[in-house]
Amino acid sequence: MADRILVAYATRYGSTAEVAEAIGDELRKAGVAVDVQPVSEVQDLSPYRAAIIGSPIYVGKWLPEPQVFIERHQQHLRTIPVAYFAVGLTAADGGPEILRKAEAAMDQVRMLVTPVDIGIFPGRLESGRLSFTDRTIIKLIRAKTGDFRNWEAVRTWAQAVHSKIAPL
């Protein structure tokens, strides 16, 4: 029987990977066996009794990689508890309309596999690490740079998700 939890993610500049690692660390503290890996490296879901899948929100949407992963594995994912998380700069503002838009970024994957929970977290933006195109977009939209991640919120969410995906 599967006894591990998968935390799979996509990332562009590493912020979402760090959030995924923090989620995995929190689950490990609860005594759970966890694998944290990019969605592109996950081939077999049979070792997992639950999955937590995350992506940054980029131009209002999840990256394509986790969407393709969920499409490819949706039959299996529908048989286990699944949670989604998104990391995005707009979540730093935290207003209800902003959070609704962040949730909407997950609409497509939520139609494929219904999650037991979703988490939305502010991200990090370091303009020096961005591609030329992304730097140009950031300048045009006047996005704030900095690290806006709330690690306590990530840990609290991971604990709440653990209670929803823990074995009966």
Q: What's the rounded Cα separation, in Å, for the pair 11 and 46?
A: 24
Q: Would strands 4-9 and 33-38 be described as parallel, antiparallel, or unpaired? A: parallel
Token code pair at residue 112: 């494929």
Cβ atoms of residues 88 and 143 within 8 Å: no
**62 three-class SS:** strand
- Nearest C-alpha neighbor of 51 from the set 156, 165, 167: 165
Cβ atoms of residues 138 and 161 within 8 Å: no
Q: What's the rounded Cα separation, in Å, for the pair 136 and 158?
A: 34
State the pTM of this model.
Answer: 0.83
pLDDT tens for each residue of the chain, 168 residues long: 568 999 999 998 788 999 999 999 999 999 999 999 999 999 999 999 999 999 998 777 888 999 999 999 999 999 999 999 999 866 556 666 666 777 777 788 888 999 999 998 987 655 556 566 555 555 555 556 667 788 999 999 999 999 998 764
